[in-house]
A and B are shown apart, each in its own frame.
Chain A
């Protein structure tokens, strides 16, 4: 009996301790937030189609980009892969019956929903206009919008991240099946493990920092507002100490997804497995040392700027190792361009462009020119949307048969992947050019000479919207009418494919005994070596 047929009532879902059902609960919740955040972005692109600020007022526009950022970062991207796919797959991939703390796992979903409710309440009450970065002293003293309500929402949701991270860390350490040594772990598990360490160590810093913003706002005493004797740079240091590692919270799990899909659809073992694992840990650790590159023009010490610049360049090394190794995995492979593979290849290409433009921004002098322009917007959307969202969708397609026991329609899947890839580039590539030409971010109007590129970008956003609605439609359709999936439709090697689709409540009929590493693929025939015999 599969985990889906353990109970059909709403109650059976809302009181479940099954990591797979909790993963599905997260999927439903973050999908709702994705389209809410996307709607805000759509309105912004509509406004920016013409130079005049005619669709919304400047104040409304400020609220739109704030709510877009807050929702997409904390209510979609951060929980996307770890809380949906990580929750669903990590125990399966390591041959465990469930997470280490199943009740805590459910609690983390409720905490997420509670934080979401606060944020939606702030939206209904009139929104907030600080930007997702809550820079002081604007957020503590001047803004007259619902800052505290949103801060409470983000603060609460942070604890859901922390609890998910804690659960994954303990699960990976303690619940691996016999024979599953650290260097036999699939890279997806490595990536989620490293991400969870960041969730554990960075999120509490954000929580306390935002709490201090709220206290300063309430009592007009504090440590951030210079008028009160505080220092706004202190806020920026603390905020980015979390928010830069948060970028790696968003992209490391995406790398994990690509590392599962690419070997499977190229029928080749992943190139340089150990270096891939070390690179994940390298990115996670270096990520804690580069926050100052968000503050090159803030007035921090020039010497600090130089050190942060050099450390930021270092991140390129493990990132490049990963890109080269994915590429080398493809070499002489027997490549099938299935929908998950299209997403994964799209991820690699867009991540590379996003990463390389990150080097522009890590260069001190160049950053002075590019700070607060659309170049920055384009850069981080290439990482977060081109990278993370593409990989998330690739992962959803790849593991869809495992999650619900049905196949998605392959041709529609490929069309959607290509639509998203095209729409994404049309939306964001012009923004690199706009930023290079000097168009600043966060304005609802602009000089007429920027209109052509902005029009391309807005048209791209429309294509992207179609691309995102397609999977929502056909994946929903396939839940009821899709072809029944076999236990291992991709002939993949991981443990999660060694149990039924969808898996039974406790994942495996008997505890698997692992005998080899992941990715024992071969191009010569359809032979492949599962991790169990």
Chain B
């Protein structure tokens, strides 16, 4: 797969405790869902599924259950022990690009840069809900409105450089689709 962090970084990250990461992840997902209240509605019956979001170049897996506005998030060290309905796996920078609209999920699937397993319908519902949410870094971080534009531009440049440095796939369009 393209776009992987060097293994040494993964090993270093593996030494970190997972609980603080879980708190941060929960906060980010809360921010995202409160910024996009229609998200859970678009997931419909699949909101109660547990999605394993697996950054394959990191030593942890996020288990996310959207659950209609009351999401639960757990971080576990590997997919083997994770009880889940569906798994979405790719290097971290690619997963981030799926969230902000940089990448088209089907194109990544065709090029084998994205792996999906388990409940395919749930994966599709999640992907379409994320697509429609038009999430951007500032919304996910919960920044106030006046800061969002400048922050998103800076974050876009930083992520673009990171993708190039990691030899990630080219953006499917011309970079993130701005809402």
Judge: A and B partners, yes or no: no
